[in-house]
Amino acid sequence: MWPKGTLCITIAANIANTAILGFDACFPDSVVGFIPSTEHTDVRFIEYFFRTAQKGIEKFAPATAQKNINLDILAKVAIPLPPEKEQRAIVEEIERRLSVAEKIERSIEANKVRTDHFR
């Protein structure tokens, strides 16, 4: 059982997709769990790093019917780790920008619905 707050990383099919558990859970062997080894690491920072590095990590997957990587490959990924305060600042800025993008997307969707009424 993995505890709430664990970073989940896919290692099969959709390589390096991530999510942070909102509750204790189990998951299949196509997903690995990551819990920072230090309390000075923000798991959200690590998640955003993996989102950014996803395409590069996918390149390590052998070209087979279904892409997959293993823990040895994942362990070789160098994660830049600034001081905790800087990690939090980076996460806050990313989340602020994502929030703006989500508001814009909702506005676009609402405008599409409105324009559909005029057709």
> Are residues 91 and 68 located together in one domain of the fold?
no
Condensed to tens digits (0 to 9), the pLDDT of residues 67-90 reads 888 888 888 899 999 999 999 999
How many structural domains compose the chain? Answer: 2
CATH no. for residue 15?
Answer: 3.90.220.20
Q: Same structural domain for residues 47 and 90? A: no
Residues 10, 26, single domain; the answer is yes
Are residues 89 and 41 part of one domain? no
Same domain, 75 and 23: yes
Cβ-in-10-Å burial (0-12, 13-18, 19+) of 78 comes to: exposed
Of 48, 41, 44, 40, whose CA–CA distance to 21 is shortest? Answer: 44
Q: Are residues 57 and 115 in the same domain?
A: no
Same domain, 32 and 69: yes
Domain range for residue 93?
82-119
Both 96 and 66 in one domain: the answer is no
Residues 41, 88, single domain; the answer is: no
104, with CB counted inside 10 A (0-12, 13-18, 19+), is exposed
CA–CA dist 66, 9 (Å, integer): 16
53, 77 contact by CB (below 8 A): yes
Query: What confidence tens digit (pLDDT) does each residue in 85-114 have?
Result: 999 999 999 999 999 999 999 999 999 988
Q: Name the strand (E) or helix (H) holding 64.
A: none
**pLDDT classification of 60: cutoffs 50, 70, 90:** confident
Question: What value does the mean pLDDT take over residues 4-25?
Answer: 93
pTM for this one? 0.81
* Per-residue confidence (pLDDT) for residue 20, from 0 to 100: 96
Q: End of a domain among 47, 62, 79?
A: 79
